[in-house]
Chains A and B, each alone.
Chain A
Amino acid sequence: DAGVTQSPTHLIKTRGQQVTLRCSPKSGHDTVSWYQQALGQGPQFIFQYYEEEERQRGNFPDRFSGHQFPNYSSELNVNALLLGDSALYLCASSLGPHSEQFFGPGTRLTVL
């Protein structure tokens, strides 16, 4: 049974560029949540997708956007990258928006 998978593993971008991160949920899960984890900090909630709609959003600017596909996989897009966007981006999936969340290994984004 495959767990949550994320791609790519690592990514290096320059300021001002745009990036797309991808997540495939655990088999049977239909909800995807995204978190940003800065070095030495706890994860911060970005948003949650369920039934292909953004259902919850944390305190992140509109530069952060997402999408959920009919197969429940999801993308996180970040526009106009800033140095401060450098972090580990975690995807978590769950069976429904209220249930226990299972995390993927993350994508390490470095903005130069």
Chain B
Amino acid sequence: QQQVKQSPQSLIVQKGGISIINCAYENTAFDYFPWYQQFPGKGPALLIAIRPDVSEKKEGRFTISFNKSAKQFSLHIMDSQPGDSATYFCAAKNAGGTSYGKLTFGQGTILTVHP
């Protein structure tokens, strides 16, 4: 019930293209959904996050789309650049519940953007 399932495992996109990564969750108590970017040898860095009271949030080239009824959310990277090549993780948290400190992560997506 605590799982977050992420797809695809890997993604190859041409420079300038759109990268789309999807996540699905089971626990309806989750109320905070962040996306993290991780480069080799580094810790995850927060990219963008959304709460379920909105269906979309955009920050620069990064957009989160959220579908509460389907229990799914996705990350869209517009105008993908080689510098975006990294591993991306979706995550979820029940910020107001008994496990408020625990982020539950997806399995990760390795994004490669070809020049």
Contact = CB atoms under 8 A, between A and B. Distances in A.
Interface in A1-48: 4, 31, 33, 35, 40-45, 48
A55 B106 contact: no
Contacts of A100: 34, 46, 49
Interface in B76-108: 89, 91, 95-96, 99-108
B99 A56 contact: yes
A43 B105 contact: yes
Interface in A81-112: 90, 92, 97-98, 100-106
Contacts of A33: 101-103
Q: Which of B43, B91, B96, B101 has the most CB of A within 10 A?
A: B101
A41 B4 CA distance: 12
A31 B41 CA distance: 23
Query: Contact residue range for chain B?
Result: 20 to 34
A103 B100 contact: no
Contact of B101 (A4, A31, A43, A106): A31
Contact of A103 (B4, B43, B96, B107): B43
A56 B108 contact: no
Nearest to A100: B46
Given A40-B108, A90-B44, A102-B46, A56 B102 contact: yes
A58 B43 contact: no
Nearest to B106: A42
Given A56-B99, A101-B103, A42 B43 contact: no
Interface of A: 4, 31, 33, 35, 40-45, 48, 50, 55-56, 58, 90, 92, 97-98, 100-106
12 contacts: A41-B107, A42-B91, A42-B105, A43-B89, A45-B102, A56-B99, A56-B100, A90-B44, A98-B100, A98-B101, A101-B46, A103-B45
